């Protein structure tokens, strides 16, 4: 009954009821075979029946499939009505299998392939012969064939209506319907049909659930895939290795590597034996997340199970190490492959290594690897060239980037949108926006189509220049061209509206992103919090601060700094102090602005002790840097008494005080007639310098 309630809430039962009412009225027409035939038609039906029976009997002992029989009948001379009569007559007089052989022959021709009455009469006749399994086979044929011409829903509705005629759809029929529906992209319809079938007594099996999981994985809806996969495992069903690989790869692609690893462990516990591809896929997912230690642990587990890592396994590890900044470790693993007898580095391996060197601005080594791979007979692909072009663009070497672009074209590799994005991004970051647009125009003339990243790069650049209008034009153009904006698109606009104190627009874009299923990031939330703090709306700032966990985000030092700064502006020091302590306890290092802001606010209310306590929790280097800046700030406001406390503490930490800070402190003391402070400080420095000289001697 629960499934029925779900369907009813979706308005699905009402829709089916109205359809079924129509179908019941028309089903009599579909299944009727009592129409009086003309003598010539009756003769044709009898002749066809005779030919079918004769051919079937001749091939019965040869075990030839009924779907392959040919009866020597001219299909053009057989009408739809006659075909229906033949099926009904054969089922009645010769049996189900003979009728089914003619049915399969008929639907092999376009003339009868999409004639629903033929399917219904055949299925009804088979039901009359108490052959429900073959009747379900007929229904499955109808679903497959009608889906080819966009009549899937009509066929499915008839399958469900046949339940009222005594034909209960079996699990195979359910699986086929869901599979065809999912392949056509009718996701919601597939889920509703699954529930409707359950209501009608069909018991889903592992295939049923697997089809739903695969459907959601392929469209990238990981949350729904997770829901169906959990339901599948709860019923004791285990996926096959191919589906397992798809699940791991899609979960990791969408940032759910932890969940993918959990399923990996759960399925292994349930008896699934992971193969080399499964292990490699999981290792790749962990590397993309940056969990290199776990990836190598997985490698050890794989070897322990008897699987030898191949070039793809090593390439995943090399790529992960490079992205982590451990290029030298990656290169040692790369050399291990080079020296290997069985697994030599391929184009993907070289590209990963080149990417690592480009990321560290070691372009000479990257170029060396490009030459090396050519010497080995490997042909660099578009991705290899694009990676190197991106590295040169980030370093400002646009001449070399253009040379590489021409080189790849001469070698038969057309620059793709990623290649153009790399150059456009580099040009924009160097302030050469017009040149970037010119580059894109040349690409458009060569058939280039911008993607989401192209729009994001340009939107980001216009937002940096506070040109919101042009950024919005690009956003709308992206949507109209059928490209779905991602969270980076929305965050770019949210951030610029927040900077311009246009919080209504920021809220609108934030809520729109959430409404269409895009998950906000830490940066998205931090932008909103900064915007609210800037306009003094701490209530909403705190609301968004507490909403971070709703989307799996955690505040970082910048987020904490924004909210602490907002609280300090409104003199809410106790709340600011609480957040500061919470940040420290979580292992986050407050940025210099946060440290100075909070300490200075305490100094403003003559609470130097609290300011000292705040700084005490910092490591020595950060303490010295913060105290130095604080002394300079206090001196600029002529608060030399407080400055002297921090200056003396600085001397306790490090005798070699910055000369600029010392000069600023002494100047502030002279200007405020605090000569005694200058004298005491000078005496201390002179005394400790003499002690240091004696110790050295």
pLDDT for residue 10 is more than 70 = no
User: How does pLDDT run across 121-142, given as a tens digit for each residue?
Assistant: 998 888 888 888 888 889 899 9
Residue range 413-433: average pLDDT?
Answer: 91
What's the pTM?
Answer: 0.69
Listed ranges 160-174, 347-361, 407-421; the one with the highest mean pLDDT = 347-361
- Give every CB contact of residue 243 below 8 A, 6+ residues apart in sequence: 210, 213, 214
For 142-152, b/e burial (b = at least 16 CB within 10 A) is: bbbbbbeeebb
Nearest residue to 81 (alpha-carbon basis) of 89, 69, 73: 89
**What is the reported pLDDT for 69?**
52
Q: How confident is the model at residue 29 (pLDDT cuts 50, 70, 90)?
A: very low
pLDDT for residue 35 is more than 50 = no
**What is the reported pLDDT for 689?**
52
User: How does pLDDT run across 324-339, given as a tens digit for each residue?
Assistant: 999 999 999 999 888 8
Q: Over the chain, what is the mean pLDDT?
A: 84
pLDDT for residue 209 is more than 70 = yes
Nearest residue to 471 (alpha-carbon basis) of 482, 455, 485: 455
Q: Where does residue 515 rank: exposed (0-12), middle (13-18), buried (19+ CB within 10 A)?
A: exposed
Q: Which of 157-166, 370-379, 439-448, 568-577 has the lowest mean pLDDT?
A: 157-166
User: How does pLDDT run across 431-471, given as a tens digit for each residue?
Assistant: 899 999 999 998 898 888 999 999 999 999 999 988 999 99
pLDDT for residue 24 is more than 50 = no
DSSP sequence for 641-661:
HHHHHHHHHHHHH-SS--HHH
Q: How confident is the model at residue 633 (pLDDT cuts 50, 70, 90)?
A: confident
- Give every CB contact of residue 401 below 8 A, 6+ residues apart in sequence: 389, 392, 393, 422, 423, 426
Residue range 610-617: average pLDDT?
Answer: 84
Q: How confident is the model at residue 36 (pLDDT cuts 50, 70, 90)?
A: very low
């Amino acid at each position: 009954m629960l499934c029925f309630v779900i369907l009813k809430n979706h308005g699905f039962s009402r829709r089916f009821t109205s359809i079924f009412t129509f179908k019941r009225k028309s089903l009599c027409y579909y299944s009727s075979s009592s129409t009086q035939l003309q003598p010539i038609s009756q003769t044709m039906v009898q002749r066809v029946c005779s030919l079918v029976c004769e051919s079937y009997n001749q091939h019965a002992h040869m075990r030839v499939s009924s779907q392959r029989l040919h009866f020597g009948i001219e299909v053009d001379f057989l009408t739809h009505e006659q075909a229906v009569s033949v099926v009904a007559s054969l089922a009645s007089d010769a049996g189900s299998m003979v009728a089914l052989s003619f049915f399969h022959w008929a639907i092999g021709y376009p003339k009868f392939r999409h004639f629903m009455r033929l399917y219904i009469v055949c299925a009804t006749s088979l039901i009359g012969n108490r052959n429900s399994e073959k009747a379900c086979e007929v229904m499955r044929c109808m679903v497959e064939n009608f889906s080819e011409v966009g009549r899937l829903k009509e066929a499915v509705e008839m399958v469900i209506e046949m339940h009222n005629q005594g034909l209960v759809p079996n699990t195979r029929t359910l699986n086929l319907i869901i599979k065809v529906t999912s392949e056509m992209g009718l996701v919601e319809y597939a889920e509703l049909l699954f529930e409707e079938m359950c209501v009608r007594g069909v018991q889903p099996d592992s295939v049923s659930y697997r089809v739903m999981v695969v459907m959601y994985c392929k469209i990238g809806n990981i949350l729904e895939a997770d829901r169906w996969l959990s339901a599948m495992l709860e019923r004791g069903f285990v996926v096959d290795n191919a589906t397992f690989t798809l699940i791991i790869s899609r979960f990791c692609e969408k940032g759910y590597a932890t969940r993918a690893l959990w399923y990996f462990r759960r399925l292994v516990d349930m008896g699934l034996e992971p193969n080399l591809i499964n292990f490699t896929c999981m290792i790749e997912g962990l590397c993309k997340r940056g969990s290199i230690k776990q990836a190598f642990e997985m490698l050890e587990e794989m070897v322990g199970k008897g699987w030898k890592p191949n070039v793809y396994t090593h390439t995943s590890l090399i790529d992960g190490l490079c992205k982590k900044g451990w290029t030298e470790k990656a290169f040692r693993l790369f050399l291990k492959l080079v020296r290997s007898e069985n697994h030599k580095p391929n184009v993907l391996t070289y590209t990963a290594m080149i990417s690592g060197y480009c990321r560290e601005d070691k372009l000479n080594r990257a170029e060396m690897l490009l030459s090396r791979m050519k010497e080995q007979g490997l042909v660099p692909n578009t991705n290899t060239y694009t990676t190197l072009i991106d590295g040169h663009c980030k370093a400002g070497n646009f001449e070399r980037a253009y040379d590489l672009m021409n080189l790849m074209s001469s070698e038969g590799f057309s620059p793709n949108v990623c290649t153009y994005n790399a150059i456009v991004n580099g040009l924009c970051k160097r302030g050469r926006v017009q040149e970037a647009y010119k580059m894109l125009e040349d690409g458009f003339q060569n058939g280039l189509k911008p993607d989401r990243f192209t729009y994001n790069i340009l939107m980001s650049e216009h937002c940096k220049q506070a040109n919101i209008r042009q950024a919005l034009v690009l956003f709308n153009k992206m949507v109209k061209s059928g490209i779905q904006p991602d969270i980076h698109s929305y965050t770019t606009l949210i951030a610029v509206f927040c900077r311009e104190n246009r919080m209504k627009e920021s809220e609108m874009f934030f809520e729109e992103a959430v409404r269409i299923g895009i998950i906000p990031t830490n940066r998205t939330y931090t932008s909103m919090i900064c915007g609210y703090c800037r306009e003094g709306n701490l209530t909403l700032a705190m609301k968004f601060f507490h909403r971070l966990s709703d989307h799996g985000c955690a505040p970082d030092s910048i987020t904490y700094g924004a909210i602490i700064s907002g609280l300090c502006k409104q003199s809410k020091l106790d709340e600011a102090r609480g957040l500061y302590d919470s940040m420290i306890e979580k292992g986050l290092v407050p940025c210099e602005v946060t440290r100075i802001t909070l300490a200075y606010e305490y100094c403003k209310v003559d609470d130097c002790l609290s300011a000292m306590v705040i700084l005490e929790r910092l490591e020595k280097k950060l303490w010295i840097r913060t105290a130095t800046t604080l002394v300079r700030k206090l001196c600029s406001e002529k608060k030399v008494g407080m400055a002297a406390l921090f200056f003396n503490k600085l001397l306790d930490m490090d005798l070699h005080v910055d000369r600029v800070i010392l000069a600023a402190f002494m100047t502030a003391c002279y200007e405020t007639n605090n000569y005694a402070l200058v004298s005491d400080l000078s005496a201390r420095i002179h005394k400790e310098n003499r002690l240091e000289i004696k110790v050295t001697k």
